Chains A and B, each alone.
Chain A
Amino acid sequence: MAVPDLIIDPSLRYWVLLPISLVMILFGILRQYIQILLNPTPKLQPLSKIRESEHIKKAQLLKTNYINLPKRDFESRQSYLSEKLSNGEYLAEEIKTDDDQPKNPLTDPGTSDAMMNMAKNSMGNFLSQTIMMGWTNFFFAGFVLMKLPFPLTLRFKQMLQSGVATTDLDVRWVSSISWYFIVTLGLNSIYNVFLGDGSKMPNQMQQQTMAPPMMPGGPTPDKIMNQEANDLKIIPYQYILDDVDSRVLKIYGSK
């Protein structure tokens, strides 16, 4: 059965369609600035932490680049570094020997900071979405806003007419809630125009599916250090300068 064509009150355009779009744009900009304000300032790493990680890295570098050192110099570094690493001189914190299990990430103060930041971020996103949707729903629930100028298949009904429970309505009519969703997904390029720099406004979709930042955990520094110290002890020694003279003569000599 054919539905007689609807006639839409033109004030719907001025009082519903435009306000929803405008409020969403302004809200997005506001959220952007709030996010900048909430961004945590990068924390200063204490010197002992830097010292710890740099010494671990140093041991790893010695392991790969030792070929540059003469035998005597290599051996002195090998024994020095492996001793210092295994007796824990470079550790930032005292070793706790009582438990072998990895720390509970929820009680570790270092981790909870990172989790807190993540939670804050996703909460902010979640809240702003909820508020905006609540607002649209509260004022404009069940409105039919506009008619698309092209025909669509029935499958789009769910997408375009959520909140309007009429089974027979032509798919081309768009409800207010659906307009809200469409605008949410399509606003990024408009933000780019307003906020200038595309890199500052991360895509909302991306933000939601982004992998969580790397969580601390894994082996503790003292375990890594012990491992490195053991590795250092068993390096078979080689020296890159041993036959450099014949190599050089081979490379340049024939000319």
Chain B
Amino acid sequence: MSAEEKLLSIHKYGLYTTFTPEQISSTYLLLINYLRSNINSIDSIKYYDLLELQFYLSLLSNKDHEAKTCLDRIMDKFGDGDSQRTAILKATYLEATAGEKVAIEYLSKRKSDELVCLKKRIALGKSKATKQDYIKSLIGYLNVSPLDTEVWFELSETYVDIGHYEKAVFALQEILLVFPFAYNIFARIGELENIIYKKNGDLEKLESSLKHFLRSIELSSNFIRGWSGILITTGEFKKLNNQKPLKNVKIDYESLFKLSNSRLQKIISTKGTNKEDLFAGERIISTFT
């Protein structure tokens, strides 16, 4: 992949929001060098996309002045009267430099029909609002735009924070309706249902949790989270069976336990995924087997 494609895909999918500090600084260097050497040949749509990326990267790495320069360049070209995209940039800049309150004020002066600005305003209000109010505004947003999976996930995590796991699972299911193969969401549902099982001992939930983990690794074979979930839930089944033989469980948890154990070890020995996950996998094997 060329540097340009890489940078554009980072911009397009918003990957920079989940980057580690090292990744941010290396991407930033790549971007600066790329822009410097290709400033004349790059076409203008890509240029402003990359400038937007530079804006976010500079803000993330605490280079406020540079972010301001990028913002000014974009504003000079597009203004913020009609464009929600530039309004979001400006609000983000205000949030980082002048505080959330100023940013919310700026956004609330804009037209009320702007969906993206509404979303940003809700996000900005998160720290000040109570959980209930925050949930209420998220649901209000989802009533208008029920396909925004980002907001569904945020809603789910907020429900988890206040202990409403069933509702959190419901929110995640909405994501599965939009992205039917989201293996990470399957695993997350598995985790939440495992928590529900821990709380009330409902065996059905444990089974459903195991099944969600199974689906996640059916979709992505090296997914450590999924395999770990299988290891933990089948281990739970074994433990229960030792206490009192389980009769109406049809799943072959013994062989699944062995399978997940061997798969985890294989992934770890071949370094099949990223460092953090490998480390977590090792710890799970040592505690649960």
Contacts and interface: CB of A to CB of B under 8 A. Distances in A.
Q: From DSSP, what is the main secondary structure of chain A's interface residues?
A: helix
Interface residues of B, number: 34
Interface string A45-70: 11100110011011001101111111
A245 B82 contact: no
Contact of A61 (B114, B178, B208, B214): B178
Nearest to A48: B144
Nearest to B178: A61
Interface in A188-202: 197, 199
Contacts of B259: 248-249, 252-253
B68 interface: no
Nearest to B169: A73
Interface string B141-170: 001111100000000000000000000001
Contacts of B143: 51
Nearest to B143: A51
Contacts of B7: none
Given A51-B145, A249-B259, A61 B211 contact: no
Contact of A247 (B114, B147, B218): B218
B217 interface: yes
Q: From DSSP, what is the main secondary structure of chain B's interface residues?
A: helix
Nearest to A65: B180
Contacts of B173: 68-69, 73
A246 B255 CA distance: 11
Contacts of A199: 43
A70 B82 CA distance: 44
Contacts of A50: 115, 144-145
Nearest to A244: B214
A106 to B, nearest CB: 27
Contact of A244 (B43, B44, B211, B263): B211
10 contacts: A44-B113, A47-B144, A61-B177, A65-B177, A68-B177, A241-B208, A245-B251, A248-B218, A249-B256, A253-B255
Interface of A: 41-42, 44-47, 50-51, 54-55, 57-58, 61-62, 64-70, 73, 197, 199, 240-241, 244-249, 251-253
Given A241-B214, A244-B215, A248-B256, 6 more contacts: A47-B144, A50-B115, A68-B173, A246-B252, A251-B218, A252-B259
